[in-house]
Amino acid sequence: MTGSAERAPAGSTIWGRFSGFGIAVAAMSCALDQAAKLWLIDDFDLPSRSPVALTPFIDLVLTFNAGISYGLFREQGPPAQIALWAFKLGAVAFLWAWLARAPSRLTAAALGLIIGGAVGNAIDRLHWPGVMDFVLFHIDTAGFHFRWYVFNLADVAIVAGVVGLLYESLWRGGAAKAP
């Protein structure tokens, strides 16, 4: 429930009641994403083993996404890379300000997941040719073939965060309004 006792102080744009919790969720989701990627590269040796079937419909594959969502807007040289970093920095600042106004732990957790996922994917660009994606969901039958986009744990965190915000705003009385 989002009671008035849970609301962040009015006018707070840097730190609110649930900011620490949201930042902890962001740090954990980012750390899990980065740990999984490093393990898959260094210990599991996914580059030489790819693809690896986990289930009949989930494979581990290795791909690097040089664009943003679904490979859109692939960066083309230093100006595009700087523009992409500026956009990401602005998005994280916006989400941080929203987190400072979070009225509940659910909103803070959801925003933390989105921030952690965004930071996890941004870290990839510092040391790889793009964002490392490794989970492929697919359905293959005699008459039907479906392949989803390859994704990673940061993407899962972002989607889970968005679902949390939607749940909060539609069924629990509304998430904090974005700044």
Task: Report the catalytic residues.
Answer: 133, 155
The half-sphere exposure of 79 on its side-chain side, counting CA atoms within 13 A, is: 0
Pairing of strands 131-140, 145-147: antiparallel
Q: What angle do CA 59, 152, 149 make, to 5 degrees?
A: 65
Nearest to 46 by CA among 141, 161, 128, 163: 128
C-alpha distance from residue 150 to each of 18, 30, 50, 131 (Å):
33, 18, 13, 11
* Count of CB atoms situated within 10 Å of the CB of 179: 13
Nearest to 108 by CA among 179, 175, 159, 172: 175
* Count of CB atoms situated within 10 Å of the CB of 23: 18
Element (H, E) at 25: helix 19-38
